[in-house]
């Protein structure tokens, strides 16, 4: 797979996951589609980035993380006045019947089950970014 360098003004996606293999795989896919990628290895680090001056257009949030899980992190993001409308797509490996509803109730805009299908991921990202 050839990586496309991000164009000037390319959208930035924050990948929040405590599994480096998942971060690597998602980063490869997103960069191959010309997106910029920031990463956080947990909910607290994601919130630190989002309360700082990092430019982020969309968040891919793993829900099963040690410490602050993705559901709680999404709820915290929704409490940040400057980030309350930031698109968040929840991603989980444990695709149980209530997971999608729980993700949406926590404030996620969309939901994906692992293993992530690249085409489905990009459709959801484009829909949320309006591109």
Do 36 and 14 contact (CB within 8 A), yes or no? no
Which run of H or of E encompasses 62? Answer: strand 58-62
Q: Which two tokens stand for residue 37?
A: 């990628």
Looking at the DSSP assignment, which residues form a beta bridge with residue 91?
A: 62, 112
pLDDT digits (tens, 9 = 90+) for 2-51: 444 555 578 999 999 999 999 999 999 999 999 999 999 999 999 999 99
Q: What are the structural domains, with CATH classification, of the chain?
A: 12-126 (3.40.50.2300)
Give the sign of the dihedral formed by CA 121, CA 73, CA 92, CA 102. Answer: negative
pTM: 0.91
Between 98 and 5, the higher pLDDT residue:
98
Closest C-alpha to 129, from 113, 109, 111, 99? 109
- 8: tokens are 């000037």
């Amino acid at each position: 797979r050839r990586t496309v360098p991000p164009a000037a003004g390319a959208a930035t996606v924050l990948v929040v996951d405590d599994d480096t293999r998942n971060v690597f795989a998602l980063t490869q896919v997103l960069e191959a589609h010309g997106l910029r990628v920031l990463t956080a290895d947990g909910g607290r680090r994601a919130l630190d980035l989002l309360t700082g001056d990092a430019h982020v257009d969309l968040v891919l949030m793993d829900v099963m993380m040690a410490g602050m899980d993705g559901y709680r992190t999404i709820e915290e993001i929704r409490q940040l006045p400057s980030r309350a409308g930031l698109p968040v797509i929840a991603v989980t490996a444990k695709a149980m019947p209530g997971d999608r509803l729980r993700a949406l109730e926590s404030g996620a805009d969309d939901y994906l089950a692992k293993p992530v299908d690249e085409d489905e991921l990009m459709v959801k990202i484009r829909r949320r970014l309006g591109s």
